[in-house]
Structure 1
């Protein structure tokens, strides 16, 4: 006969499955048991960057990393035997494009995972799928809403065994089934799967049948034991203790400089922090210039900073909208009759407004390097002095107060993105 003990741990979900085969008149020697867990990460169309805010990637990866970390670090009786990576793409791109995309996705996730877990000595293999027709067929067969479903199944079957061409599926019934699958099923094909095989080593003990029966009757095994509610459980076969490990929250950090401001001889730097597992980010640009524009009657001197909260739209990669507050000291003259300066040099403009922007990553060899376009409009309370625009020109009017709507953000910025920043360091 067989008795089975299954202990499922809450939190990281370390599953120990111990199968005990009792021999007549004796016992069994327990050595080890292996099992596998899998993480799936999804990519946006045509993208190879690991986006934690897309389709729950961040939440799944954090839970998975916590679990594997507990196994690698916290359990001396458990080891990772090997890792298998499966990388696939959706079929709308050409084979050449998909080959590059699959390779870039594998590299992106490998770099991220190597920064999270001590996997240097763990053997692994990487498999790629450029023609995911078998997976697509399974999706279509389980979706009764696919237009002309039976015809689609027939064409995909032909693609699997080499009787059909992809163009037949693209043009079938005017492309209606293809457009349906593009929006409903293709996103699930753009994925990276990481399967980890864990081996649990158990002490070699001889357990007689009567002792095991008594344990099972006393504990009503097999059963599920939540880790948080059962601090320590000792079956006499294996002892399991809770692992207390708090996974650090990963953030992305952008460091930028605004080319438009530099062209106006305004030095600037900006830092944006992308909050973990969230579409929100905090952006803080700082500007300073104490220079004239080649003559004393032309200048754009200023010292300012903005505090901006941005929402990065999950459905449109790179697009964001923000709300901001700003503070600025200023001294402006443009070769006209007047020079404008904040009153007494200590009455900064104060206000805030809205902004919108878009990020692109045109540098394929350096995916962390990108360009950001942004514009913003704000309402500011001003108190300023008006001077004659000449060397040491006297004041014409002082303490002028006004509320004005002005463009307060305009930029074409170069940025560099640091991923997986923890505690102020880059991993």
Structure 2
């Protein structure tokens, strides 16, 4: 499970780096370059608004391992085909956007299913530690993927980035094929293979939302809070190609280094959780980590000195990873297995609104300035986090 997730996440970060720099290459000198660069990463998230809730039903009804295997096959073949379109000189910016949309569609279904599979591979008493350990792959791959991708792009070109991405998805397919899932709940298994048709499909979709809203209200509020680290401040990472080129006056290799140290910060926080466990008041931890991402985003918008930019992006990665890991553990430990993929998919649905914020942010940058918009992202996040800290007692007191 850990190795499969590592391959999937490395491929995704490598993909995000490559897509951003490809759009920059195609739009060099254009007046709306920032909008298009941020927008392509937003397009990766766009399918999640429509597909993630539907994928949640699929993941709770069909064999989760088989779903991941099919999607890994599609992505591997797509990345290989995209690589040759680029190498043969046929690629335009619209090919990049089309590939981003396809990748986002597959990932919107696959990520929640992979996360739900964790509960089927370990006993319940080890679930929190297992999720934290698997979640360690997110910051680790944020270090490995962009670092390797930045070097490859600068030295031998984007063709090899895309081939490496295809190889990683093929590795995901192989590892998932070999995976055992001995801890699937018998009731969930009976539910999974019971009568399934279009009417049942949409009934399941509504039932999942009602379960989360009525029986897991505090968790529902935490997911709304996740707009801060996942939608409002997270586009900061998408802006790194523009920030690196315009503010730091460096190339894609330095952009890769920034993403890599961001992953290092996240990895340190998760290692601490893995070693010492989670403290009480996990809801409060979510609020405080969201607040910190806002403060760090504001500060990042005020600096143009490389060492300080690196330091801030490290701590930004730490804060985002604390929020995502804590929220993920809440889902794994609180939610019935019959609703697990749908709950993860709702979280993915909220994350997908980064496409809206990305286009707004890109447009604002073209109208004003990069640093001014980043500062505004930070201020908005701080205001929302303080509001939760004061008024959301059910989240604040969530153990």
TM-score (normalizing by structure 2): 0.23
User: Could you say which structure has the higher helix fraction?
Assistant: 2
TM-score (normalizing by structure 1): 0.22
Higher relative contact order (CA 8 A, sep 6+): 2
